[in-house]
Amino acid sequence: METSSEGYARRFSGPVGAFFLETQAQATLDLLAPFAGASTLDVGGGHGQLTGTLVEAGHAVTIFGSDPLCRERVSRWVDAGRARFEAGDLLALPFADGAFDVVLSFRLLPHVSRWSDLVGELCRVARRAVVVDYPSSRSVNAMAGALFGAKRGVEGDTRPFAVFRDAELEAAFARHGFRPTGRRRQFLFPMALHRALRLSQLSRSIEGVARALGLVRAFGSPVILRLEPSRA
CATH superfamily of 2-229: Vaccinia Virus protein VP39 (3.40.50.150)
Burial category of 39 from C-beta neighbours within 10 Å (exposed 0-12, middle 13-18, buried 19 and up): middle
Q: What does the domain layout of the chain look like in residue ranges?
A: 2-229
- The mean pLDDT value of the chain amounts to 91
DSSP-based helix, strand, coil % in the chain, nearest 5? 50, 20, 25
Average pLDDT over residues 200-213: 97
Average pLDDT over residues 155-160: 57
Q: Residue 3: its pLDDT value, please?
A: 81
Q: Residue 39: its pLDDT value, please?
A: 98
Contact 20, 28 (CB under 8 A): no
Q: Residue 143: its pLDDT value, please?
A: 53
Q: Residue 189: its pLDDT value, please?
A: 95
Phi/psi for 30 (5° steps) reads -60, -45
User: Residue 180 to residues 99, 146, 167, 173: CA-CA distances in angstroms?
Assistant: 20, 30, 10, 9
**Is the pLDDT confidence value at 146 over 80?**
no
Q: Residue 5: its pLDDT value, please?
A: 76
Q: Residue 145: its pLDDT value, please?
A: 47
Lowest mean pLDDT among 44-58, 103-117, 149-163, 196-210: 149-163
Radius of gyration, alpha carbons of the chain: 17
User: Residue 3 to residues 14, 58, 87, 183, 200: CA-CA distances in angstroms?
Assistant: 18, 25, 14, 23, 23
Beginning with the edge strand found earlier in the chain, give each strand of the sheet holding 178-187 in spatial order: 83-87, 60-65, 39-43, 100-105, 126-134, 221-229, 178-187
Above pLDDT 90, what percent of the chain? 83
